[in-house]
Amino acid sequence: MKKLISALLASALALSLAACGATGSSSQAAESETSSAASTASAESADLTGDGYDPTVDYASLAGTTIKVAASPVPHAEILKVAADILAKADITLDIIEYTDYVLPNMVTESGEVDANYFQHGPYLESFNEENGTHLVSVAAVHYEPLGIYPGKSTSLDDIPDGAKIAVPNDTTNEARALQLLAAQGILTIREDAGLTATKNDVVDNPHNIDIIEMEAAQLPRTLADLDYAVINGNYAAEAGFSASEDALATEDADSEAAQTYANVLVVKEGNEEKPAIKALAAALTSQAVKDYIDETYNGAVVAIF
């Protein structure tokens, strides 16, 4: 009899525990459904029309979504934070993962570890795909970082001394941009068909007998005291405390071939271009709010291209 009573008690306890477990599971499911419903309601109640929002996207269906984006810290991650505020109104979280190199952001985008990246310009993307067998595409052009001519020992482009020393970046892409900027100011003449592959060997007229010094881009701001001028990338100028709008004697124009070609772009793996989350991100990143932030923050070192 004692054994029978013990067995019945054990059975009742087991049923009680099972019932508790079932109740807990149902409760979690109910909480999940309630949270999901709340997120959807939040997205539906927010004003998701106008600037920063794509009218073809069903934002309510994206409520609770997280979009992962790989980016370089400055200015890309900073700009993305403005887009994040726009997406947050639709209950979309933008997870910005910062990288300080130019390889990993593309690799994690290719692998699907992140949904997109924002750190590079078009020519670099094309070259990266060719060299690494990746399948990455641009979905939006956001900004460019203009090269500027900065004064060293000489302070004006109206009175360039004979034999002036002008340093330019030594990498292929930026040297061509630097030479084209000098040519646009009438300082020298580049072979007409050289375009954005020009080197100093393509200089066909040099009336000031300029000594063109090729130098690593990051070193240019530090050597200005020993030069007449230097053509410096926007990011390195900003890091050195220079303002493109106040300190540069001339900068690349927004309508120039270089600006259009070297615009920094939002990138995804091929096939993901039309995903609603990507379209929502692209719309936020090319919004007036982002443009205003760029204009107010970077003093011409970063310029919106949209």
Please check whether residue 66 lies inside any domain of the structure: yes
Which CATH number is 104's domain given?
A: 3.40.190.10
Tell me: pLDDT of 32 over 60: no
| 163/298: higher pLDDT | 163
Q: Which pLDDT belongs to residue 257?
A: 84
**Which is nearest to 230 in space by CA: 186, 189, 174?**
174
Are residues 108 and 77 located together in one domain of the fold? yes
Structural domain boundaries enclosing 190: 148-251
Q: Which pLDDT belongs to residue 150?
A: 97
Q: Which pLDDT belongs to residue 40?
A: 53
Please check whether residue 94 lies inside any domain of the structure: yes
Tell me: pLDDT of 285 over 70: yes
Tell me: pLDDT of 132 over 90: yes
For the chain, percent helix, then strand, then coil, each to nearest 5? 45, 20, 35
Q: Which pLDDT belongs to residue 300?
A: 86
Please check whether residue 1 lies inside any domain of the structure: no
Are residues 76 and 127 located together in one domain of the fold? yes
Structural domain total, the chain: 2
Tell me: pLDDT of 16 over 80: no
Q: What percent of the chain has pLDDT over 70?
A: 85
Are residues 213 and 68 located together in one domain of the fold? no
Sort 28 into a burial class: Cβ within 10 Å, 0-12 / 13-18 / 19+. exposed
Are residues 162 and 229 located together in one domain of the fold? yes
Neighbours of 197 (CB within 10 A): 11
Tell me: pLDDT of 38 over 90: no
Tell me: pLDDT of 68 over 80: yes
Tell me: pLDDT of 18 over 50: no
Please check whether residue 42 lies inside any domain of the structure: no
Q: Which pLDDT belongs to residue 14?
A: 39
Tell me: pLDDT of 1 over 70: no
Are residues 230 and 267 located together in one domain of the fold? no
Please check whether residue 99 lies inside any domain of the structure: yes
Please check whether residue 257 lies inside any domain of the structure: no
Q: What is the pLDDT of residues 207-255, one digit of tens each?
A: 999 999 999 998 999 999 999 999 998 878 888 889 888 999 999 988 8
Concatenating the DSSP letter of every residue in 58-95 gives -HHHHTT-EEEEEE-IIIIIHHHHHHHHHHHTTT-EEE
Please check whether residue 82 lies inside any domain of the structure: yes
Half-sphere exposure of 174 (CA within 13 A, CB side): 25
How far does CA 225 lie from the centroid of its chain?
32
Are residues 218 and 289 located together in one domain of the fold? no
Are residues 122 and 188 located together in one domain of the fold? no
Tell me: pLDDT of 109 over 60: yes
Are residues 118 and 209 located together in one domain of the fold? no
**CA-CA distance, 292 to 278, in Å (whole number)?**
22
